[in-house]
Amino acid sequence: MTPLVREIFGVSFANPVLLAAGTCGFGRELSEVLDLDVLGGFVTKSVTLEPRWGNPAPRVSEFPGGMLNSIGLANPGVEVVRKEKLPWIRERVRRAKVFVSVAGHSPEEFEEIVLRLDGEAGFVGYELNLSCPNDARRSSLPFALDPEALVEVLGRVRERTDRPLVAKLAPNTPDFPRMAGLAHQSGADGITVVNTIPGYLSRPEGGASALGAGSGGVSGPLLRPVGVHAVRSVVASVPLPVVGVGGVSRPEHVLEYLAAGASLVQVGTATFADPRAALRVIRGLDRIGGLPERDVPTAVFPEVAMNQEKGVDG
């Protein structure tokens, strides 16, 4: 067994456990109940070019296997994030490594968001939300299911930053190796799998949708086999660090993802039920005595590590 520390993307993570995008806001939302610096890191709520108020209520519906949600990427927009959210992170988060989740209606929007944020310090890199099923304004396939769109998003963003880019792929892609390979060829430095699965629940009393927006994304325990399968598929197809997410609530779930080849693991829906769920997972890994020994693919970004430590612009 080895210590919990992970060296990925040219920086040191205190442990492999991160909070997934959309489960912790911009960190401040959980800071009074959870010491963020105990975490390996966290991914912010997805940032869009303009503010989004989200989908109509109800936005969440639970069922025995997990949760169905349709939040609608509610967030204050890139300028508020740049002027208010990132300064708070710079001042308060010392050890945990932060990734900014980016979402958009078009490749141009992804590019513009990164362009506006890249001069700011306090975060390691970007997780590109290419697979969110809740974006009502994009009538065609999600970016993660459209090879040409995926390539264009990554190509545009890659030209705007030297920071690590992690592409978050969809769980319902028919060909993980192909999409991960295209992401790699287009400049991705890592892959996150998986996002939520599109789903629908009806109200028992009348048959209407359980969610205000109709359909939503399925997450929770039943997503874990899908996530582990996706990690195995991606690890076998590209020489990049892979971040596993889906159904993680116990330390053994982290070990399962790591055994499949993941370099880092995100806790998602479990945080809604217990904001300290990730802390319990980390403590459980400590009690186990560390992580299994294995070789982990890494991407080296020495300038990112230096800037993160000094708190200077990336």
pLDDT, average across residues 90-110: 96
pLDDT at 132: 61
pLDDT higher than threshold 90 for residue 302 = no
pLDDT higher than threshold 80 for residue 300 = no
| Helix-strand-coil split of the chain, %, nearest 5 | 35, 20, 45
Distance CA 115, CA 161 (A): 8
Backbone phi and psi for residue 304, each to the nearest 5 degrees, phi listed first: -70, -45
Residue 24: which of 224, 243, 272, 217 has the closest Cα?
272
What are the helix (H) ranges across the chain? 78-80, 86-92, 107-117, 147-158, 176-185, 224-235, 251-260, 270-273, 277-288, 302-310
Return the amino acid letter for 26.
Answer: F
The catalytic position among 132, 145, 153, 231 is 132
Distance CA 216, CA 8 (A): 32
pLDDT higher than threshold 50 for residue 170 = yes
Q: What percent of the chain has pLDDT over 90?
A: 75
Return the amino acid letter for 221.
Answer: P
Q: Are strands 6-8 and 11-13 parallel, antiparallel or unpaired?
A: antiparallel
pLDDT digits (tens, 9 = 90+) for 235-275: 999 999 999 999 999 999 999 999 999 999 999 999 999 99
pLDDT at 72: 86
User: Would the pTM of this model clear 0.85, i.e. be above it?
Assistant: yes
Distance CA 281, CA 213 (A): 33
190 neighbors 157 (Cβ within 8 angstroms): no
Told to judge if 132 belongs to the known catalytic residues of this protein, a careful annotator would answer yes
pLDDT higher than threshold 70 for residue 303 = no
DSSP 65: T
Name the pLDDT band for 203 (thresholds 50, 70, 90): confident
Let me know if domain 6-56+70-201+216-310 sits in CATH 3.20.20.70. yes
| Matching residue, tokens 């612009």 | 313
pLDDT at 312: 42
